[in-house]
Amino acid sequence: MRRVREVIVVEGRYDKNALRQVVDATVVETRGFGIFNDRERLALLRRLAEERGLILLTDSDGAGFVIRNFLKGAIPKDRLKQAYIPDVYGKERRKAAPGREGKLGVEGMNPGVLLQALERAGATFEEERPAEARQGVTKADLYQLGLTGAPDSGARREALLRRLRLPERMSANALLEAVNVLYARDAFLALAEGAEGDS
């Protein structure tokens, strides 16, 4: 499985699942039109774009292009690559009927088509990861650091988020998702423990 350096942005979880069968990459969902009102998620996408670059891979229907155009205006152009799937008519297996325009979305595409779309977009393919995957930050780590489960967890999390230049209102789950993309576990733990010393 080929590893992609950039973070790939898709509309929903079924798209994410389909893509994870094709490449080893960090895949983030817009949650469909939810991205329009989710400042935290948009701020996270901007940060991920700054750190690793983004590849935008939405469905080829009207809704997919609305989301694509919104993100094109919100993310610096030099940090965003565009991946397009072709118009293929049909319906996904999990659905009872085709979508409004009758086109397959990202989740319904053949794996070869998805890989080709990423290649055409200029995805940066890296060497395969070693057999041992890097250990990520866990919910237990956040608890141990007092970022969850304690009376002052919210305030501690906000202070850490400011220090990490992430949106201050991120939930513990959103924090976990972000730090596992942006930091190696040891680097994050050192930053989080350093933040305790500052308070």
- The list of the chain residues with pLDDT below 50 reads 131-132
CA distances from 5 to 124, 128, 134, 148 (A): 6, 11, 15, 30
Q: What is the pLDDT of residues 98-145, one digit of tens each?
A: 888 889 999 999 999 999 999 999 999 987 555 445 678 999 999 999
Cα separation, 186 vs 36, in Å, equals 34
List the structure tokens of 48. 């991920």
Confidence (pLDDT) at 134: 61
Decide: 6 and 81 in contact? Cβ < 8 Å.
Answer: yes
Q: What is the DSSP letter of 36?
A: G
Residues 6+ apart with CB under 8 A from 196: 145, 146, 156
The count of other CB atoms within 10 Å of the CB of residue 14 is: 17
